[in-house]
Amino acid sequence: MIAFTSSASPHKAWWLALGAALLGLALNAHGAIAQWAGYHAFADARHWLGVPNAENVLSNLPFLIVGAWGWTATRGSPAWRTFSLALVGTAFGSALYHWSPDNASLVGDRLPIAWACAALLCGLMSERVDARWSSLGALSAALIVASGSVAWWWLGERQGHGDLRAYLFVQFLPMLLVPLALLTKMPARGARAVPDATWWTVLALYAAAKLVELADHAVLEALIVVSGHTLKHLLAAAAALCLLRGARSGAELQLR
């Protein structure tokens, strides 16, 4: 069993456990969260060179590039290499979904996103709490839970009562625990310790990505050339690049 407090002080590590518990309780108290009507109606449906919804499809290319680079740049770090592979999966899954948006293709979009969130969480915990969070066992367990969260939504959706709570828990848990780890000053440890400043930059980029995603139509009306959802892809890929560069720089500093 993975310890919560091997590398970090018990007091600080339990703040993370409390944060996770509160998020789970809040989602449970909220009740079922259905996928809203019109989810697949993105603002930008323009074709280009025969590609439907072209900008939303092609803006996934940065995920492929960043993921491929991250795979080579983070050798020896199972969590960040898994994260990199999930980015590659996201590139293909999201592109296929936006080519023909519906609930079936959305499964292929959400699965690698959930895997990326699970791997990111394992990377954070391995650096700030216990190195064993980056082990094969911990990563496998996290990926199974992440996959289950998408399956739970999809199976319910097919029966007419889809519930996104488990998926939202997997997606937002890392974004809750990262600032908790930073604000409680849990020290970064290990060969690929991402610096605090990098984590704050990642959080800012991710928050910006979510904001423009919610303002999909408004952004397209204002900028004309690009929609909020396309910008979301680009900002999320920039956040991933920032994170993987931070992991690589940490390793290089240790080798000097």
Q: Report if residue 171 sits inside a domain.
A: yes
Q: Report if residue 4 sits inside a domain.
A: no
Q: What residues make up the domain containing 136? A: 10-31+43-255
Residue that is written with structure tokens 């999201």 in the block: 94
Q: Report if residue 207 sits inside a domain.
A: yes
Furthest CA-CA distance within the chain:
57
Give the lowest-confidence range in 40-44, 141-145, 189-193. Answer: 189-193
pLDDT tens-digit series, residues 54-96 = 999 999 999 999 999 999 999 889 999 999 999 999 999 999 9
Residue 252's Cβ-count burial label (10 Å; 0-12, 13-18, 19+) is: exposed
Q: Report if residue 37 sits inside a domain.
A: no
What is the pLDDT of the chain when averaged over all its residues? 92
Residue 175 has a CB neighbour count (10 Å cut-off) of 17
> How many domains would you assign to the chain?
1
Q: What is the pTM of this model?
A: 0.92
Q: Residue 12: which pLDDT band, with cuts at 50, 70 and 90? A: confident
The first and second tokens of residue 29, run together, are 């108290």
β-sheet bridge partners, residue 27: none
Amino acid (one-letter) located at 182:
L
CATH of the domain at 68: 1.20.1070
pLDDT tens-digit series, residues 129-148 = 988 999 999 999 999 999 99
Q: Report if residue 190 sits inside a domain.
A: yes
Q: Tell me what percent of the residues of the chain surpass a pLDDT of 90.
A: 84
Q: Is 41 helix (H, G, I), strand (E, B) or coil?
A: coil
Q: Report if residue 2 sits inside a domain.
A: no
Asked whether the beta carbons of 97 and 118 are under 8 A apart, the reply is no
Q: Report if residue 36 sits inside a domain.
A: no
Q: Report if residue 3 sits inside a domain.
A: no
